[in-house]
Amino acid sequence: MGYVIGLMSGTSLDGIDAALVDIQGNGRQSQVRLVDFLTLPFTPAEVDEIMACMDLGQSNVARICSLNFSLGYKFAEAAKAVLARNGISAREVLAIGSHGQTLYHQPKQEGNLVPSTLQVGEPAVIAYETKIPVVSNFRTMDMAAGGQGAPLVPYTEWLLYGDAEKSRLLQNIGGIGNVTLIPKNCGLDEVIAFDTGPGNMVMDEICKLLFNQNYDKDGLLAAKGTLNQGMLSDLLSMPYILEAPPKSTGRELFGKEFVLRLIEKYAHVAPYDLLATATYFTAKSIALNYEAFIFPDYPIDEVIVGGGGSYNKQLMAMLSELLEGKCRVMAQEDCGYSSEAKEAIAFALLANETMNHIPSNVPSATGAKEAVVLGNITII
């Protein structure tokens, strides 16, 4: 065992996160240390091209084919950058775990379209450029086994955050919100996880369209607005919010088209109020999912929030208020971890398990028929 690199690009399209992780052992015996973390930002042109390839009206086979390889070079650049910054050679690295960039995720049958998922960022390019084995396409084997291919991080959260005395919720707020329940002293088959709904995705798109900013830094813009109850009621009535797990979602439901329709429908609502309501929508959708699917059966001690949303002070204040008296809400940093690096670390851990032929999906979270080894291994 030794160094493993985790690469992650999420629905927020901020860039490629690269975590250099020292992993000794595997499974519950893993000893994990984050050595370094960096984000290689996407250029505006790269973001535009990714968005175009996600857009059913603009994308085509040629564009997706090209993006697959161009992002492969970008992922390789991120891996090489984190190695160079720490003076570590490729020979010292067991593997790179690359999530890739999700272009489309369809967890359920829709008409003639079978459950499927597509992540791009060609692993052969990453392997050739870095001279390191690459584990990629983590979602596909879980889907082949009848699962939704998401969420993928619960296994790693069970490894890192399982506690004999405390029942914990690990809430990630990236583009999408997802939660992992880890009851105290639990086995892997007792872990529950699912996507709660929007994370930052709706808020970020409102910021881009109405404020010419990529995101609401510290929640300062939302803090200037007030809730619009009509809009909030409309949002909370969406079937997904209280759909029973297992469930997963993405840009297909909460992306730019959704926000454009929202802005058009509520054109009479002031921009600050729109953003404040969208922020509360994220917090409330998380709380409603807890109340419906977690609190009735599990007393929770702590909610540990990770992802970019943990830095949004207005969002965190809303979530803390909604959960007051039920459990303590804290950020990853309050526990000595990094909110930014969490998912990249997860893919380093998943790659380590795959290289050791250890299953790392959580069937109780994804709906898969059985535990399977995740990912394809590309070697050079």
Which domains can be identified in the chain, with CATH numbers? 2-149+341-378 (3.30.420.40), 154-335 (3.30.420.40)
Task: Give the mean model confidence (pLDDT) for residues 302-314.
Answer: 94
pLDDT digits (tens, 9 = 90+) for 40-85: 999 999 999 999 999 988 999 999 999 999 999 999 999 999 999 9
Q: Which two tokens stand for residue 48?
A: 């535009």
Task: Give the mean model confidence (pLDDT) for residues 262-272.
Answer: 97
pLDDT digits (tens, 9 = 90+) for 204-217: 999 999 999 999 99
Q: Which two tokens stand for residue 193?
A: 């996880």
E strand segments, the chain: 2-9, 15-24, 31-41, 93-106, 116-120, 134-136, 168-173, 176-182, 192-198, 302-306, 328-331, 376-378
Q: Please give the pLDDT value at position 13.
A: 87
pLDDT digits (tens, 9 = 90+) for 174-212: 899 999 999 999 999 999 999 999 999 999 999 999 999
Task: Give the mean model confidence (pLDDT) for residues 163-178.
Answer: 94
Mean pLDDT, the chain, rounded, equals 95
- The model's confidence at residue 267, banded by pLDDT at 50, 70 and 90, is very high
Q: How far apart are CA 136 and CA 120, in angstroms?
A: 10
| 195 φ/ψ angles, rounded to the nearest 5 degrees | -80, 125
CB 17 within 8 A of CB 343: yes
| 336 φ/ψ angles, rounded to the nearest 5 degrees | 85, 15
Q: Please give the pLDDT value at position 252.
A: 86
Q: Please give the pLDDT value at position 337.
A: 81
CB 130 within 8 A of CB 80: yes
